[in-house]
Amino acid sequence: MPGLAEWQFTDSAEVQLFEDKDKAGTSTLTLGVLPLAPERQRLVNAGLQPGPIEEADHFWIMRMRDPDGNLVVFASAERD
């Protein structure tokens, strides 16, 4: 299907993205990551600029904008 990308990681984990240029910059993607601090360092080493690790109610989050302005949130039950 044109504009569709899909990755299947396991039988119960997959990601599907669909391109819609009219909605660029208004979307949010949340990814679960364990633990969060090494993932933040990996992103920094790759030349990206993730925000600080923030404490939420029962977990930790880190936010980052993609080049189109969409919000990517990394969430984790573990900080380090």
Domains of the chain plus CATH, in order, are 4-76 (3.10.180.10)
Strand order in the sheet with 71-76: 28-32, 71-76, 60-65, 54-55
pLDDT at 79 > cutoff 90? no
pLDDT at 12 > cutoff 70? no
Q: Which pLDDT score, from 0 to 100, does residue 57 have?
A: 83
Interval 15-42 mean pLDDT: 88
Interval 51-65 mean pLDDT: 93
Interval 72-76 mean pLDDT: 91
pLDDT at 61 > cutoff 80? yes
How many whole angstroms from its chain centre is CA 65?
A: 9
